[in-house]
Structures are given as structure tokens and as C-alpha cells.
Amino acid sequence: MTDWPDMFDWIGAQSWSTGKVGTYGCSYLGEGQILAAQTRHPRHVAAIAQAAGGNLGRVGRRREFWGSVEGGAFSISINFGWMPVFASTEKGAKPMPSVDLASYFRPVPVIDMPDRAGSPSWDWRNFLERSPDDPWWDRQGYLTADDSVGVATLHVTSWFDLAAEALESARIFQANAINDRARDGQYAIVSPTVHCASEAASAQTMVGDVNVGDARLRYWETYSPGTTAGSGERTCARRAPQGPVLHDRPQRVAGVRPLARGQDARDRDLPGQRWWRQHAQWQWSPDESRPDARTRRHLHLRSRPAGPGARRFDLLYGESQGPARIVRQRRHRAAP
């Protein structure tokens, strides 16, 4: 735990430093962000803790301990696949054992697996011999319900990667904040991806054999005016497990509506052809051409904008309050 304060002190003492430090990491490095926050160092002002739910310790009935315990059972596959290389008790990373790790999952006893694979120098036996309620876990620095922080943190996780634990960490950070920065600066993003892959999400995100690209449409449906969520207060983390979670607290959000922009044959904006279309001209309709029409949605334009010289128009989906921020664009033909 002392490495983090030493690093913050060193950075703050440099001539090029502003004295304010932000940190970022994913997976094991993301869990390091949680440890850094627990030091409450005054120079540590912002952090992005990605895929870091495994650093949750003893919180209520939850036990994670680096993700090694799930529901009271030791997680064999994640530990045996990761620890031989990155969790050596000797200094420096060790090479992956030149064996088929999966072939070691069936034979017993489980406690001898590293020895049989020729990679004994790590904490497998130490972890496996301890029950989830062993006080030893509490001395390892995992996040508990009583820990306090002073850093604004963005908690990034995904549907298939300890998402609930990340939200619990965000709740603890907010509830036990020692300053307004931490109290008002806890956010969580839950993306439809696997481990550390949130940045790679696109309109056609594949998770294994599952296409989760429609999450972008559920996001629109959630926040568009005329829907329950888009018209006032929301607690997205509790209400909409299928959509992205942007904040774990109720807050006021601006509605969303399409912006129509007319263009001529040379793709130049037509004078006076840039305006916000009211939501009343739009509706969500099932896409009958798709086999999963019960869940797939698309925007249906009831009346197309037209104007002198208009050849086509773009729909730019953005926030309806404040400056127009384009979040998605689609091109259509203009009405004759």
C-alpha cells in the first residue's frame, strides 16, 4: 500500500507537475486504482477503475478477494489461468507453464494443481486453504464497507465481468467520501462486453455468439422524451439491466431528440434547413423484417422534412438541451 503514496509524492514534487494526479488501469491494474483510492492521498484527485470489481472484500454477504471467491466457492479457472504468470511470489513475472492448463482442471486433489503443472511459486495453496470468512483476507487491503476515499472515480465494467461488484464499490466510495469531489464524482459505466473490452464496443458488438449491438437503441429509448426515464428522475442502475448504466444515483438528465439537416446535391447545408424535430414526429416501431422483432427497434419517421432544392437530409441524434452534441448520424432521402 505504501507504493501509491510514494508515487504521488514523487509526481507532486516534479517541476512539470500540477500537483494533481489522475490514474487509470484495467483488471489487476484497475484493482490497483481501488487500493490507491483507499490511501486518501491529497494529490490523487481522479481515477478510472476498469474491471476492478474483484477488489471488493468483505461487504455484507459479498466476498470477492481479487475475484477468487464467488458465492463462497474458490474460482478455479480464473485463478489457475492467471496466477501462474502474474501472481508469482518471486520478483518478476514468470513464463506460462508449457502445459495444457485445461487438462489440469479434472484431476484431484485441486490443491496440488500448480505442483503438477510445474509452477508452484504462487499463492494458490494459500488462497485455497482459507475459508471466505478467514480474518486473513481482511488484512490484504481489499475494499470494505468502512473504507473512505477522497478521489473522483469512474468505475467501468461490463455485463460479464463483476458488474454488480463495481457498482457496490462506487456506492461505498460515495457513501464514505471525505470531500465533495469524491461525494459528487462517482460514476459507473456498464458496457455489453467482456473483460477490459469496453473501449472496443461498437454498433455491432459481439460477445461470444451474442450480438449485443442493440444496446445503443435501448439507450436511445431510455433517454428519449416521452419515455418514463427520459422525462425526469432515474436510477438506471436499478431499473434497466439491459441498457448502459451511466450513474448509480438518481439525477436529472436532458431528453434527446433528432436533428434534421437538409442538404443539396453537393452535400451543402441548405439555408434554414437545420432544426430540431419534435419527438411527436417519431415513434418506436418493431422491425417486422427481423426474426427477433419483439425486441429489436428502429426509428420510424412519420413525415420527412423537405425544402427547396433538398436532395437528402441527415438525422443527427443529440441532446435537446444546450449545444447540439451529435451522437449518431444516419442519411435519408428527402421528400420530393
Give yes or no: residues 175 and 113 share one domain.
no
Give yes or no: residues 208 and 274 share one domain.
no
**Domain assignment of residue 288, yes or no:** yes
Q: How far apart are the C-alpha atoms of 218 and 280, rounded to whole Å? A: 19
Specify the pairing of strand 44-50 against strand 206-207.
Answer: unpaired
Give yes or no: residues 147 and 215 share one domain.
no
Nearest to 26 by CA among 34, 38, 16: 34
User: CATH no. for residue 153?
Assistant: 3.40.50.1820
Is residue 27 within 8 A of residue 40, CB to CB? The reply is no
The pLDDT tens digits along the chain (336 residues) read 568 999 999 999 999 988 899 999 998 889 999 999 999 999 999 999 999 888 888 877 777 777 777 767 777 877 777 776 677 677 766 677 777 877 877 788 888 888 887 776 677 888 888 888 888 888 888 888 899 999 999 998 887 777 788 888 999 999 999 999 999 889 888 887 888 888 877 666 777 777 766 555 554 455 444 433 333 333 222 223 333 333 333 333 334 444 444 444 454 544 444 443 433 333 334 444 444 433 333 333 444 444 444 444 444 443 333 333 333 344 444 444
SS3 88: strand
Q: How far apart are the C-alpha atoms of 263 and 64, rounded to whole Å? A: 55
Give yes or no: residues 32 and 164 share one domain.
yes
Give yes or no: residues 145 and 55 share one domain.
yes
Nearest to 282 by CA among 255, 264, 308: 255
Is residue 113 within 8 A of residue 161, CB to CB? The reply is no
Number of structural domains, the chain?
4
Give yes or no: residues 49 and 152 share one domain.
yes
Specify the pairing of strand 186-191 against strand 152-158.
Answer: parallel
The model carries a pTM of 0.60
Strands annotated E in the chain: 21-26, 44-50, 69-70, 73-74, 152-158, 186-191, 206-207, 210-211, 256-263, 269-276, 282-286, 297-301, 312-319, 326-333
**Domain assignment of residue 292, yes or no:** yes
Domain boundary among 191, 212, 227: 191
| The three grid cell numbers given for residue 255, joined into one nine-digit string | 431528453
**Domain assignment of residue 314, yes or no:** yes
Give yes or no: residues 46 and 78 share one domain.
no
**Domain assignment of residue 287, yes or no:** yes
Give yes or no: residues 166 and 99 share one domain.
no
Give yes or no: residues 207 and 185 share one domain.
no
**Domain assignment of residue 249, yes or no:** no
Give yes or no: residues 268 and 178 share one domain.
no
Domain boundary among 151, 169, 191: 191
Give yes or no: residues 270 and 329 share one domain.
yes
Give the per-residue pLDDT at 105.
78
The whole domain housing 149 covers 3-59+140-191
Give the per-residue pLDDT at 115.
82
Give yes or no: residues 148 and 121 share one domain.
no
